[in-house]
């Protein structure tokens, strides 16, 4: 089986609007309108119980790998304490995150940050950054992710009916 390709590179920022402007000017890339990755089932080192997570995000249209800009949020994996800059490499459409977590645990690679879906199925998870030279890997399941527009209204939908940051005619 071929190794998966990196889908996107996550960058943590203090001010999302400013970052979109600066990254657009520096790269010539087009960034999506702002959306939110919003869930009440996030678990990380800041709180081992499922809790609210409401990260503001924007993705480049150009890629892969795409650039994901994420604004500081909360007390854990996306907090200002993490500092601005490189946050993660991401692999999407992963078929079995629970198995991937178990496989990496055998290699002494832990996790810090995951989103639980229905029936406690893992929708997304981050490896522990200390286990991979200060870098996180984000694994995203094939399931629909809890994305809404910045104002809380429903997101665009892709050709599969899953939430998208781009209207179909621009995707």
String of DSSP letters for the chain: -PPPPP-EEEEEES-HHHHHHHHHHHH---BPPPEEEEEEEEEETTEEEEEEEEEEEEEBSS-SSEEEEEE--SSSTTSGGG-SEEEEEEEEEES-HHHHHHHHHTTT--EEEEEE-GGG-EEEEEE-GGGGTT-EEEEEESSPP-EEETTSS--EE-TTS-EESS-TTT-
Specify the pLDDT at position 68.
98
Each residue's pLDDT tens digit, 28-76: 999 999 999 999 999 999 999 999 999 999 999 999 999 999 999 999 9
CA contacts within 13 A on the Cβ side of 42: 23
Each residue's pLDDT tens digit, 87-136: 999 999 999 999 999 999 999 999 999 999 988 999 999 999 999 999 99
- What does pTM read for this prediction? 0.95
> Contact 165/35 with Cβ under 8 angstroms?
yes
Specify the pLDDT at position 83.
95
> Contact 63/6 with Cβ under 8 angstroms?
no
> Contact 51/28 with Cβ under 8 angstroms?
no
- Closest Cα to residue 138, out of 40, 42, 32, 31? 42
């Amino acid at each position: 089986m071929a190794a998966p390709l990196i889908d996107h590179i996550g960058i943590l920022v203090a001010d999302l609007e400013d970052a979109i402007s600066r990254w657009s000017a520096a790269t010539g890339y087009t960034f999506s309108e702002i959306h939110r990755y919003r869930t009440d089932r996030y678990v990380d080192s800041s709180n081992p119980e499922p809790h609210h997570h409401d990260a503001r995000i924007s993705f480049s249209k150009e890629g892969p790998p795409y650039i994901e800009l994420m604004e500081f949020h909360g007390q854990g994996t996306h907090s200002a304490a993490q500092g601005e800059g490189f946050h993660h490499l991401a692999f999407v459409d992963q078929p079995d995150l629970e198995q991937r977590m178990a496989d990496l645990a055998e290699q002494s690679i832990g996790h810090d940050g995951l989103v639980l879906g229905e029936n406690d199925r893992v929708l997304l998870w981050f490896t522990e950054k200390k286990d991979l030279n200060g870098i996180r890997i984000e694994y995203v399941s094939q399931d629909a992710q809890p994305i809404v527009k910045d104002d809380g209204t429903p997101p665009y939908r892709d050709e599969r009916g899953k939430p998208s940051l781009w209207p179909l005619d621009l995707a």
